[in-house]
């Protein structure tokens, strides 16, 4: 009986071991810049937004703004859809900075505020109220983080 199960167990263990990427293993809530950029790219190019993306943004704070700058060019951000996606991502990044964002420096929206000002300059007039609302929300949330 064991001799018949042994080859099956070897195949199972080989598949399980090869499926793991040990270099990307991180403690819960610890996201690399690569992870954040990938989530920004996915949300802004496809327009879809998953729970995994939200969790990544919620735990990354100001790092999300840096990822947006590295991922999108001005023409992508200036379009109506692009600007809306950027605002969704930035709002998610500051949804709960005091509890969710692990790195203390990323709880403060320094790069995010610069990005919002830049977005205000390049986006159309139609986006101005939404950008202002997002800025107000982010500042309120950041003030709660201390």
What does the pLDDT read at residue 17?
Answer: 42
Is residue 52 a contact partner of residue 39, using CB atoms and an 8 Å limit?
Answer: yes
Residue 44: both structure tokens together: 């802004």
Q: pTM of the entire structure?
A: 0.78
Say what the pLDDT of residue 130 is: 97
Closest CA to 142 of 115, 114, 110, 117: 110
Which pLDDT does position 2 carry in this prediction? Answer: 53
pLDDT at 69: 97
Q: What is the pLDDT of residue 3?
A: 53
Cα-based torsion angle of the residue sequence 68, 73, 79, 85 in order, rounded to the nearest 10 degrees: -10
Check residue 102 and give its pLDDT: 87
Smallest Cα–Cα separation from 127: which of 138, 113, 117? 117
Residue with tokens 């690569």: 34
- Work out the percent of the chain whose per-residue pLDDT is above 90: 70
CA distances to 57, 79, 132, 144 from 94, in Å: 8, 23, 15, 10
Q: Which residues of the chain have pLDDT under 70?
A: 1-30, 146
The answer to whether the beta carbons of residues 55 and 99 sit under 8 Å apart is no
Distance CA 128, CA 75 (A): 17
What is the pLDDT at residue 47?
Answer: 85
């Amino acid at each position: 009986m064991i001799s018949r199960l042994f080859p099956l167990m070897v195949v199972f263990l080989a598949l399980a071991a090869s499926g793991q990427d040990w270099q990307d293993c991180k403690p819960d809530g610890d996201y690399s810049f690569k992870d954040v950029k990938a989530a920004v790219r996915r949300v802004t190019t496809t327009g879809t937004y998953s729970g995994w993306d939200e969790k990544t943004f919620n735990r990354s704070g100001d790092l999300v703004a840096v990822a947006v700058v590295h991922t999108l060019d001005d023409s992508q951000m200036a379009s109506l859809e692009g600007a809306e996606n950027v605002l969704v991502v930035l709002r998610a990044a500051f949804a709960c900075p005091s509890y969710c964002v692990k790195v203390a420096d990323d709880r403060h929206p320094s790069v995010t505020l610069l990005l919002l000002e830049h977005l205000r300059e390049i986006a159309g007039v139609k986006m101005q109220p939404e950008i202002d609302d997002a800025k107000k929300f982010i500042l309120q949330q950041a003030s709660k983080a201390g």
